[in-house]
Amino acid sequence: MSFSKIKSRLPGGELFKLLFKYKNVKISRNNPLETALLERRKYYKNRYFFGYKKETTFYLNLYKVMCDLFTDSSEQSWFDFNGVIIPKPISNEEKTVLMKEIIDFLIFDLTENRVLCDIVTNEGPYELDNVQILKGDIVIDCGANMGLFSSIASHKLAIAYAFEPSDYLINNYLLKISRRIPNINICKYALSHETAELEFMFSDDAVSIGHLDFIGHSVKNDNFRKYIVQAITLDDFIHENNIPKVDFIKADIEGAERYMLMGAKQVLKDFAPKLAICTYHLPDDPKVLREIILDANPKYIIEEKFKKIYAHVPN
């Protein structure tokens, strides 16, 4: 994805200065990038004790900057990031989530320095090196949330299947996006290792957060409520809908990544899609996800970077 217009309107140097100030990181001759990275990781270990309010304030301020620069000229309630369009978030929590995602997409495009990117990114980009969305790809967006990744896939002339079990996110974001953007198919399912009705936990406070109930999740909140949602394996979904191939799977599904992959072993074997899978929800995610991928298709080349696994099978 090209962010050339964003680069000209939001210079990378200025954005880095803003991010460094927020993350308490200083870059100098006496403080090389590797040292700064360690500082950043140390800061994040302690941020939950003194920095969460500061984090929210920073992203809400960044949201105001983005509104000034990237409001869609024809639809004031929408963002237009150089052709990638998305409805403006409703709640402050959703604004924070979207700004984190925007930075993850934007930073790596502004610099090819991976250490520098690691300092300021939140979870890392979804596209890296050989793991890229190409024109004509069929993309599986697991945990579509507000639809940013599906919008990017459509902008790249790919076909996106946006999997999201939340009625709130579907009604307030995904349906609006699918009406304006071609090639986005909304799939009201949770992807898992079985096709069945499963219990799902949604947060009343953070509408963009939810997870399957049986996952030992780190998020604890008295305001999580239990609902029944329809889960499906990716293998079943592809077979039932006669989808001819799968080229790319993106997954950020709050600890259910391993169950999604367990239900996609035939897809991994037959189609060898490129993978960008989050690895930070459960402590053993990197090891478990790697084992499932290689068990399904030993030809995969896997790289662990940022908070993700990137995997591809060479042509």
**C-alpha distance from residue 43 to each of 24, 39, 40, 259 (Å):** 8, 6, 5, 32
Contact status, residue 128 vs residue 310, Cβ threshold 8 Å: yes
Q: What integer pLDDT is reported at residue 297 of this predicted model?
A: 98
- What domains appear along the chain, each with residue ranges and CATH number? 4-120 (no CATH), 138-312 (3.40.50.150)
Q: Do the strands 190-191 and 196-203 form a parallel or antiparallel pair, or are they unpaired?
A: unpaired
pLDDT tens for 68-105 read 888 998 899 999 988 889 999 988 889 988 988 888 87
In the chain, what percentage of residues exceed pLDDT 70? 71
Q: How far apart are CA 163 and CA 185, in angstroms?
A: 9
Question: 34 falls in which pLDDT band (50, 70, 90)?
Answer: low
Each residue of 137-152: pLDDT tens digit?
999 999 999 999 999 9
pLDDT band at 271; cut points 50, 70, 90: very high
Three-state DSSP at 206 gives: coil
pTM score, two decimals? Answer: 0.85
Average pLDDT for residues 169-194, to the nearest whole number?
A: 94
For residues 95 and 60, the answer to whether their CB atoms sit within 8 Å is yes
Model confidence at 306, pLDDT cuts 50, 70, 90, reads confident
**Six token digits for residue 131:** 């793991």
Dist. CA 207–CA 140, nearest whole Å: 22
Which whole-number Å values give the CA distances from 37 to 41, 112, 173, 187, 261, in the listed order?
6, 16, 35, 38, 31
